[in-house]
Amino acid sequence: MKKYNRSPKAFTPKALLSVGITAIAVIILYSIAAAILRDSFILLGLAAVICFVIAAPAVLFAYRFISKHRHGISAIDEDVTNLESNMTLKMLSELYMPVVICDENEKIIWYNRSFEVKAGERSSYYGKSFTDFCPVSLSILLENKKEKGAVITAFGSFFNIKAYSLPFDQKNMTLTIWNDCTELEKANDRLLKENPMVAFVVIDNLEELMQYAQESYRTAAAEVEGIIRNWAESLNGIFREYERDKFLLIFRAEHLGKLITSKFDILDKIRNVRVGESNLPVTVSIGISSLDGDLKEKEKASRSALDTALQRGGDQVALMREGGMDFYGGKVQVAQKRTKVRARVIAEELAHLMTNSDNILIMPHRFPDFDAIGAAIGVARLAHYCKTKVNIVTDLASPEFLKCYARLENLPEYSKRRIFIDFAEAQELLGSNTLLCVVDVNNPSQFEAPDLAANAHNIVFIDHHRKSAQFDYEPRITYIEPAASSSCEMVAEILEHVLAPGLLPREEAEIMLSGISLDTKQFTKNTGTRTFGAALYLRNEGANPVGVSELFRTDLADLVSEADFESNVIIYKNEIAITQNSDVSKATPQTRISAAKAADKLLSVEKIEASFVICQTKDSIHISARSNGKINVQLILEALGGGGHFDAAATRMVGVTSIQALNRLKKAIDNYLAENKN
């Protein structure tokens, strides 16, 4: 820091030198005059003294005048500098805020009285590490000096610490100032606790259960409402029913931590309400948002969270927070809805969007199976009906695709593969008025071309898997029905509402029927009246079960691959079968299909409740999971970035070894079993 002086000292060495030079000059003049005037020594000596007395002050005055105007206010005065340094140190010593000065090694070399009082006067703090009192290092504090500093907890109070570099004697000292912000932090904490939160609660399966016990509706609804009302009273919240079996709850944010700790045990309490002779459980879905904003914004976010919970199959809480969404519950299988009203509404809206689009791109998930390809073909048929150009973006080398294309290549729309394209071609066709239809998948990491969805303006989702997370974009249509057996079932219902009988070619109907057969394990799992209704529609359009069975024929290599999986089985936790392929070098795209078939077969083993098959390929690891209904494999694989259904799920992992994948899988299983002991 520069120190400034208002007047230079009177007797500096330079001033004394000036006076000495003046004296010498007077002596020289006296000597010359004495040599000339030999008889006037006394008068000359007196004159010399008078000249010196007059000249010396004049010289001092001239020096001071010149020095003052030469240096101005920048002349450094050592006395004043020392005085100001002492004043600064004294000011820091008596400052009400704690001040600490540290050396380059973050050791305390000086602190003021205020810090001593806060830290305690019983011992000396010289030489101690700064991190003994502050959890944030000095380097981080110096990086944040232009910001608001760092808020830490120390000595039973909150402090906002700012650090400043203090160069001294070729060393880099650091000065820190501790501002006590305890009252501000307490006020902020109180505001956060009193922040109102909006929750929507919906009884999500009571209407479906009433098909089995119509007379028990009022009793079950009243019992569930009573449980929810008591829960709301325990939160000191406002509870209102805004529609039949739909409720609004407003409560303070301080209760959210308790709800998360209990993993929203309200779901378990409501699940204990049973209906009918079959003792089926009632479930609810809850949407909550912890985002900041006014009540209108919170209400909108909570509704979006509720929609996500319902699209994931219900019986769960969707908590929207900064950076993502958390889910709790989801322990029961979804009851299939009987009504087709929503399918009819979606069909009309989708046909309208297609008619008003320049072109349509249809994208299934990567490594497509018969359900994904069949759903894409069905949506393409609707696009043909709307007279809009359409293309299907898929893996043209997939074994399932090649089997399906062999059935379709004689149709004029599919000749020379004009409909089927890869990702590079799709990017060129993507425009501002292009409609992108994503089928049989809603997790972006499983898209055939994730960048395509990121760049599209108009997106439609048709899927039967549980919704994995909130979308980064707003789809035009989100038709996600976890209760449906397959995506082909959903698309078949849409076509039934739009197409006249006979407009769906037999070849397309057979591929769609194969998709339903695949996901229902030949109509033995996840089937309902709507499943058989969709199959009947496809059968009436010419689908032949014999032709469907031919698509499932297995060659010898696949049979050997399945046997490889079945020969490496280990039993985990006495009821879970885990296996993996033994030779990665022999893995092909078809090996994944063999893994899924092996997972199905392992469920036939006695006492096995769930199976997990790890398929390691050259670039990634795939895990296929199956369950008999006791263990929710969807929740287990969701923890590994995958998803699916209660009894059938899958995930894909990149950049890990088979050992790492196995350990992560076991950890996910352990966490699930620990959270669901009953």
Residue 558: both structure tokens together: 């696949």
Mean pLDDT of 471-499: 89
pLDDT at residue 80 in the model: 43
Long-range (24+ apart) CB contacts under 8 A made by 399-406 are 399/589, 399/590, 399/593, 400/368, 400/369, 400/370, 400/373, 400/593, 401/368, 401/373, 403/551, 404/370, 404/373, 404/374, 404/377, 404/511, 404/551
pLDDT at residue 277 in the model: 66
Kindly report the number of other CB atoms within 10 A of residue 146's CB atom. Answer: 8
Mean pLDDT of 534-545: 93
Q: Which domain holds residue 627?
A: 557-675
Strands 643-644 and 648-653, sheet pairing: antiparallel
- For residue range 159-194, what is the model confidence (pLDDT) as tens digits? 988 888 877 777 788 888 888 888 888 888 887 788
Mean pLDDT of 138-158: 78
Answer whether residue 191 is part of any domain.
Answer: no
Answer whether residue 130 is part of any domain.
Answer: yes
Q: Among residues 185, 219, 238, which one ends one of the domains?
A: 185
Answer whether residue 610 is part of any domain.
Answer: yes
Mean pLDDT of 537-547: 92
CA dist 507 and 494 (Å) reads 18
The HSE-up count of residue 461 (CA atoms within 13 Å, CB side) is: 24
Residue 498: both structure tokens together: 């739009």
Answer whether residue 311 is part of any domain.
Answer: yes
Q: Is 203 helix (H, G, I), strand (E, B) or coil?
A: strand
| Residues 513 and 417 occupy one common structural domain | yes
Least confident segment among 3-17, 49-63, 302-316, 638-652:
3-17
pLDDT at residue 521 in the model: 85
| Residues 142 and 71 occupy one common structural domain | no
Residues of the chain with pLDDT > 70, as a percent, come to: 82
How is residue 335 annotated by DSSP?
Answer: P
Answer whether residue 88 is part of any domain.
Answer: no
Mean pLDDT of 585-603: 82
CA dist 134 and 569 (Å) reads 53
Answer whether residue 646 is part of any domain.
Answer: yes
With cut-offs at 50, 70 and 90, classify the pLDDT of residue 81. very low
Mean pLDDT of 140-152: 74
pLDDT at residue 462 in the model: 95
pLDDT at residue 367 in the model: 85
104 pLDDT more than 80: yes
| Residues 212 and 227 occupy one common structural domain | yes
Average pLDDT of the chain is 82
pLDDT at residue 354 in the model: 96
Beta bridge partners of 238: 250
64 pLDDT more than 70: no
Identify which has the larger pLDDT, 50 or 419: 419
Q: CATH number of the domain at 614, please.
A: 3.10.310.30
The HSE-up count of residue 73 (CA atoms within 13 Å, CB side) is: 3
| Residues 547 and 561 occupy one common structural domain | no
| Residues 296 and 387 occupy one common structural domain | no
Mean pLDDT of 418-444: 91
Q: Are 439 and 364 in contact (CB under 8 A)?
A: yes
Q: Among residues 125, 158, 185, which one ends one of the domains?
A: 185
| Cα Rg, the chain, nearest whole Å | 41
| Residues 358 and 498 occupy one common structural domain | yes
Mean pLDDT of 560-577: 87
Answer whether residue 25 is part of any domain.
Answer: yes
| Residues 170 and 123 occupy one common structural domain | yes
CA 53 distance to own-chain centroid:
88
Least confident segment among 142-151, 357-366, 433-442, 455-464:
142-151
| Residues 391 and 538 occupy one common structural domain | yes
| Residues 536 and 638 occupy one common structural domain | no
Least confident segment among 65-79, 156-170, 206-220, 589-603:
65-79
Answer whether residue 480 is part of any domain.
Answer: yes
Q: Which residue shows structure tokens 């007379």?
A: 215
CA dist 188 and 413 (Å) reads 64
Q: Are 469 and 446 in contact (CB under 8 A)?
A: no
Q: CATH number of the domain at 140, please.
A: 3.30.450.20
Q: Among residues 551, 584, 613, which one ends one of the domains?
A: 551
With cut-offs at 50, 70 and 90, classify the pLDDT of residue 389. very high
Identify which has the larger pLDDT, 338 or 605: 605
2 pLDDT more than 50: no
Number of domains within the chain: 5
Most confident listed range (249-263, 381-395, 445-459, 616-630): 381-395
139 pLDDT more than 70: yes
56 pLDDT more than 70: no
Indicate the burial class of 397 (C-beta count within 10 angstroms; 0-12, 13-18, 19 or more).
Answer: exposed
Q: Is 100 helix (H, G, I), strand (E, B) or coil?
A: strand
| Residues 175 and 161 occupy one common structural domain | yes
With cut-offs at 50, 70 and 90, classify the pLDDT of residue 450. confident
| Residues 390 and 479 occupy one common structural domain | yes
Mean pLDDT of 353-370: 93
Q: CATH number of the domain at 210, please.
A: 3.30.70.270
pLDDT at residue 8 in the model: 40
With cut-offs at 50, 70 and 90, classify the pLDDT of residue 120. confident
With cut-offs at 50, 70 and 90, classify the pLDDT of residue 75. very low
pLDDT at residue 278 in the model: 62
Q: CATH number of the domain at 392, please.
A: 3.90.1640.10
534 pLDDT more than 90: yes
Torsions phi, psi for 392 (to 5 deg):
-110, 125
Mean pLDDT of 324-352: 80
Residues of the chain with pLDDT > 90, as a percent, come to: 29
pLDDT at residue 393 in the model: 94
CA dist 97 and 585 (Å) reads 68
| Residues 235 and 260 occupy one common structural domain | yes
Torsions phi, psi for 648 (to 5 deg):
-155, 120
Q: Are 318 and 291 in contact (CB under 8 A)?
A: no
